[in-house]
Structure 1
């Protein structure tokens, strides 16, 4: 099941809107009848009062029709055909609004999903919306990634609610199943982020994605134990993040070199201090030493490989290189050397 982000109307408000529409419709019909009251005849033959108009409007709209008040003139009968009858149908639709709303919601949801699928391309699939999944989505949004191109695959009801509340498209189901990944259009996605709670699930999802996409989609997976990292890479994951090893190393740095952990936290905390960023090398920078640039370049990526910048060997920028630099979150430029 696909859950598109949407703003839902409260039940009391929906009921109030329907009640207001029904009352407005009755008042409209009463006004029409009262203005043309000379064209109606009742059993007493003493003319229609305002109360008689209300009475006739209610029994007509509710399709009761006792027949004690009837239109006699041609104009009144024409008004009944062109105005009262459509209002009667509309009034019945309002009365059965709950059933109609369900049918309308189903049609609207199908229409929205159809439009969403037509526009879906180069998206990111996040399998699991726990702590790691939410952090991964937050990192994507930090870099300016379009929220509409992020799809969450989650089987837990709590995770689905959180994804919907954050304005994300959520697909309910187990990401290890091919049908669920196909619903997320895994064959046309840009990458798959696997942030499940168990290493076993991560391996199964990786194998399923590789089978469906023939290895054409980038897979980034997270595992708890270091010993499972090699298994994930053999299964087809391009990048593997070992959460336990990373956390342990940060704990060790905190003990032996406390200032280092402050720098790492500053780099990883969004919206403040420093942040890692990446951009393509500009034409004017080709042939220069990355260390001589105004921004602090910490790594250079060439054809998917990270080139060291330290030591005696001088690395110069080539066309197509990617520069990893430290950006000041409080400004639009990188930190100067």
Structure 2
């Protein structure tokens, strides 16, 4: 805007003071602004020389201002931020089968850490810069972020919802989580949606909006505290599974089709998971959706069945190396 104004002032000044034609005035303005010093179209009058002197000084002030703005932008990190955002966008475009976390508050940050610890690619959608500033790089590492309103189609598309396998909406307001669930279900009909709710009445709304599962942190927290009194050892064991205890355990699932080809027709006894890896088969979800807890040793997992395992991080890694197809 300043540059256009400077050009307009020069053209009008030369036309008015020196009676130059528009083309001559434009030429004189350009050689004055660019300081190339070509010969004038016509000798300048005293008033014209005074105008040129003031006009040159005016353009020097504009140049100094533009340099100041550019220097501030560079040294205050604006340029670095722009390159970071471009790199971030390129990274998100390469993601596939990732998880989108909407909202980076306490629940969103915890979900992000758990997902990253499990090796999943995660994209965070958050519009509050204050919330994002609380996420230190030392704790969370480089986070793939879409800065925008998670209730908008554009934000979810920027997060790659068409390519994502799951979405967690952990926004502070239940109404926003309902809207995110509706939008996500419309944009990606097969995506797995997990939603946070504060009120019990919001649970049915979220399920109707398209959420596959609804989590109520306050209700879970109250139950957890009560069970610490009534069943403390059970809760300590559950804390180990959830990663809150000092000796962390890990739950893992593996579809029957993911087993190595030579193992797919074997029974649980023949798989001999515990002796080979130290992990334990604690359940099996049948293709019909039913669960079998502590499945019998002679059971042969069929197509569509999912085996559930429990073990330490090292035991689960041995399980994956020994049993899963590469």
TM-score, scaled to structure 2: 0.62
In 1, Cα distance between the equivalents of 2:155 and 2:165?
17
* 1:288 equivalent in structure 2: 267
Structure 1 residue ranges without an equivalent (≥5): 1-62, 64-91
1:155 to 110, 127, 143: 127
1:202 to 177, 184, 191: 177
* 2:248 equivalent in structure 1: 273
Q: Is the 8 A contact 2:267 2:297 kept in 1?
A: no
1:249 to 223, 230, 233: 223
* 1:324 equivalent in structure 2: 308
The alpha-carbon deviation at position 140 of structure 1 amounts to 0.9
Deviates more, 1:219-228 or 1:192-201: 219-228
* 2:283 equivalent in structure 1: 299
The alpha-carbon deviation at position 218 of structure 1 amounts to 1.5
Larger RCO (alpha carbons 8 Å, 6+ apart):
1
1:155-181 CA-partner distances (Å, limit 9, x unpaired): 222322244722102222221122222
Q: Is the 8 A contact 1:154 1:172 kept in 2?
A: yes
1:216 to 190, 198, 201: 190
In 2, Cα distance between the equivalents of 1:250 and 1:134?
20
Question: Residue 240 in 1 paired to residue 224 in 2?
Answer: no
Return closer, same or farther for 1:261/1:118 CA change in 2, 3 Å cut-off: closer
Return closer, same or farther for 1:106/1:127 CA change in 2, 3 Å cut-off: closer
Q: CA RMSD in A?
A: 3.3
Structure 2 residue ranges without an equivalent (≥5): 1-34, 36-63, 320-326
Question: Residue 169 in 1 paired to residue 148 in 2?
Answer: no
Matches within 5 A, 1:55-134: 98=71, 101=74, 105=80, 108-109=83-84, 111-113=86-88, 115-134=90-109
Return closer, same or farther for 1:254/1:203 CA change in 2, 3 Å cut-off: same
Question: Residue 190 in 1 paired to residue 165 in 2?
Answer: yes
Deviates more, 1:97-106 or 1:261-270: 97-106
The alpha-carbon deviation at position 303 of structure 1 amounts to 3.5
In 2, Cα distance between the equivalents of 1:259 and 1:189?
38
TM-score, scaled to structure 1: 0.60
In 2, Cα distance between the equivalents of 1:288 and 1:118?
42
1:68-110 CA-partner distances (Å, limit 9, x unpaired): xxxxxxxxxxxxxxxxxxxxxxxx9xx8772684885577457
The alpha-carbon deviation at position 219 of structure 1 amounts to 0.9
Q: Is the 8 A contact 2:169 2:195 kept in 1?
A: yes
In 1, Cα distance between the equivalents of 2:288 and 2:296?
23
